[in-house]
Amino acid sequence: AEDQLRQSQKMEAVGHLTGGVAHDFNNLLQVVLGNLEILKRHLPSDALRLRRATENAMTGANRAAVLTQRLLAFSRRQPLAPQALDLNRLLSGMSDLLSRTLGETIQIETVLAGGLWRVEVDPNQLENAILNLAVNARDAMPNGGKLTIETANSHLDGAYIAANSDAIAGQYVVICVTDTGSGMAPETLERVFEPFFTTKEVGKGTGLGLSMVYGFVKQSGGYVKLYSETNEGTTVKIYLPRLLGDVAPELTPSIEDITGEA
């Protein structure tokens, strides 16, 4: 629990620092993009080289903007548009995108709980987060494997909270994303939420995927838990608080009770 506390204090400090820079940087990029847009609009249609150069500059600036948005997500300074959501429906809607992302060698299994509580989160950001997890899973399974996505209702009780200082007791909906990939060594596992931490080669990873997931989920009032075993695989669990004042679903919910696991 003490480790967890130290870790979350460190994240807090890094997030504070990163957020300020990312925010200003993003504003400057928007100025660049806005002006490139004007430039492009006023270029004669036969000025092909100039058009191509302008478009290349816009592509670069857009990529940089995506990076700053992940940093903003990590530092919890991202404007969110939360909505009451059925996560099962959101995940079903992503199935084409997910199978395209994972390719033919990775099998996808989806286990959606009946009677799932609703949550209130930003659907675009949540899709982004899940896509990030899928990309990581794909990268961890270069020779194929299996990705499982599960949903469940979950009560977090006092004992669990005692072991996880940054969690708040209550009702959550949990999304578990499990792969049968390379897994992570303990040294890696300790650092994955840090922005820019990556074990991937230059140009392949930015080290911002899990940072974004972490920040977004925290900003949404939830939290992320990781379980990983080298050569076995990895499970990422995203806990999102149940929508306040939600009406009870008709079906009996399948409840994943958590009691004091460390």
- Report the residue number, 120 or 190, with the smaller CB distance to ligand ADP: 190
- Report the residue number, 132 or 153, with the smaller CB distance to ligand ADP: 132
Among 32, 131, 197, 225, the residue binding ligand ADP under the rule CB under 6 A is 197
SS3 assignment, position 222: coil
Residue 181 sits in the site that holds ligand ADP (CB under 6 A) = yes
Among 18, 78, 211, 219, the residue binding ligand ADP under the rule CB under 6 A is 211
Residue 69 sits in the site that holds ligand ADP (CB under 6 A) = no
- Report the residue number, 31 or 196, with the smaller CB distance to ligand ADP: 196
Among 18, 164, 198, 220, the residue binding ligand ADP under the rule CB under 6 A is 198
- Report the residue number, 165 or 188, with the smaller CB distance to ligand ADP: 188
Q: Are 77 and 23 in contact (CB under 8 A)?
A: yes
CA distance 20 to 46: 42
CA distance 101 to 177: 15
Residue 75 sits in the site that holds ligand ADP (CB under 6 A) = no
Backbone angles phi, psi at 12, to 5 degrees: -60, -50
Q: What is the dihedral of CA 259, 108, 135, 130, to 10 degrees?
A: -50
CA distance 59 to 212: 21
Find the shortest distance in angstroms from Cβ 192 to ligand ADP.
Answer: 4
Q: What is the dihedral of CA 171, 233, 195, 127, to 10 degrees?
A: -50
The DSSP letter of residue 117 is: P
Find the shortest distance in angstroms from Cβ 79 to ligand ADP.
Answer: 22
CA distance 27 to 8: 28
Find the shortest distance in angstroms from Cβ 154 to ligand ADP.
Answer: 21
Find the shortest distance in angstroms from Cβ 254 to ligand ADP.
Answer: 25
Q: Which amino acid, 75? A: S
Q: Which residues contribute to the site for ligand ADP (CB under 6 A)?
A: 132, 136-137, 140, 179, 181-184, 188, 192, 197-200, 205-211, 234
